[in-house]
Amino acid sequence: MRASFRKIGLAGRKRQRGIAAVLKQLLELLRSRGVDVVLEDTLGDVVSGEDQPLATLEDMGQQADLVIVVGGDGSLLSAARRLAKFSIPVLGVNRGRLGFLTDITPDDMVQQIPAVLDGQYASEKRFLLDAEIRRNGAAISQEHALNDVVVNSGASAQMIEYQLSIDGIFVYRQRADGLIVSTPTGSTAYSLSGGGPIMHPALDAVVLVPMFPHALSSRPIVVDGSSEIRLDILARNRIHPPVTCDGQANMKARPGDSVHICKNPHPLTLLHPVGHDFYASCRDKLRWSNALVT
């Protein structure tokens, strides 16, 4: 049965290597299917000579039935933070490296994109996190994250001292380079590099990974996805730790501030080709053994 994707948005980063050729191929493919196509406004000069309607991501979220993001996982992360609130499905075409989120290759587009348009796809929900810095009890900045929220000491090469509370309950006070708060989606990203566990994307959980803690007994903690996490930057710290969402959106905290992290109410709807397998992605991207034991 054909899916009801009558208007499709194309998004991505204009500096992504090879994006122009992929966009032109996608435009030709989608037009041949008789769907309306709108291009992200920042890509207008990438496909020169194409008389193509342009729109911001926010306008796409309100007008389109599907957004196809061309690029690596970073491109999809950036788009996801802006599109999730519109409940619009997102499909990724990989022009990056690992591609845990963008799993259609340009070589497979001709077969897999039409199949998606015909309703042959797998759909899953990925939740995001809200991160808010509060100063003297008042919110001063807020961002969203699909992968992770990271509080760290920045380029100072100094530890920060912070106090962690979950759902209003004191957990610990610790000196470390920082703390990674990751969704299951982000568990194969920075959290993995920091020693955190790999979590299946369907889990409703969050992992907290200390960064180089000054305590041999400090280990990652996995908590319920609906937990309310509070990180108090103790007043005696001398540095202003950055708070980063998905490694892209940056905020700056001060000693005495608190960082509040909770689940965003609007999940991202992520589409995959039929047969998508998380464990196969791990074998491929993380170089797990492909050998079968018999």
Residues catalogued as catalytic: 73
- Whether the CB-CB separation of 275 and 108 falls below 8 Å is answered with no
- Whether the CB-CB separation of 109 and 94 falls below 8 Å is answered with no
Strand pairing class (7-12; 66-71): parallel
Residues 6+ positions from 267 with CB-CB distance below 8 Å = 84, 125, 126, 127, 128
- Please give the full DSSP string across 22-38, using - where no structure is assigned: HHHHHHHHHHHTT-EEE
In order of 55, 61, 160, 190, 222, the CA distances from 239 in angstroms are 41, 39, 8, 22, 28
